[in-house]
Amino acid sequence: MSAEENKATFIRFVAELSKGNLAIVDELCSPNFAFHSPNWPDWPRGLQGARTLAQLGRTLFADSHGAMEDIFAEGDKVVVRWTAGGTYIGEARPGTPNRGDRFSLGAMSIYRFVDGKIEEDWGVEVFGPVGKPWG
């Protein structure tokens, strides 16, 4: 598949997830799916890991909103710069806001495709407080 086809597939993937269509994970993620993030070092692999990742936002954030700010594709990779915000409702972890705090989030993700399916997700996510300087 071409870089542009991979990009279109990814945009469709995100659109379907935003509608709550979790079946799209089985259609567009590889059985060998792997998520790599310093914030989640022991993430499970395979389609179950992809399903869990697809549902993660619903378990961590209330009243959340997000956007793909930039999306680029080259070769077998699609790169996305994300922003999001809302209220953190997940459990306390290093690098996350306190439960109940409003947050803003910036993230960069690189998705590698194999045979038209998402095989790897390399991500870095950074939380910041709303209305306060980062750092």
Which tens digit of pLDDT belongs to each residue from 54-65?
A: 988 777 877 878
- Domain enclosing residue 68, as ranges: 3-129
Asked if residue 134 is part of any domain, the answer here is no
β-strand pairing of 29-36 with 117-129? parallel
Q: Is residue 13 part of a domain?
A: yes
Query: Mean pLDDT throughout 36-51?
Result: 92
Question: What value does the mean pLDDT take over residues 36-43?
Answer: 88
Q: What is the CATH number of the domain that holds 29?
A: 3.10.450.50
What pTM was computed for the model? 0.88
- Token pair 């750092």 is found at 135
Q: Is residue 44 included in any domain, yes or no? A: yes
Rounded CA-CA distance 28/78 in Å is 14
User: Does residue 92 lie within any of the structural domains?
Assistant: yes
Q: CA-to-CA distance for 16 and 92, rounded, in angstroms?
A: 29
Q: Is residue 50 part of a domain?
A: yes
- Say how far apart CA 125 and CA 82 lie, in whole Å: 9
Domain tally for the chain? 1
Do 121 and 36 meet the contact criterion of CB atoms below 8 Å apart? yes
- Read off the pLDDT of residues 64-93 as tens digits, 9 standing for 90 and up: 788 999 999 999 999 999 998 889 888 877
The radius of gyration computed from the CA coordinates of the chain, to the nearest angstrom, equals 15
Does 135 map to a domain? no
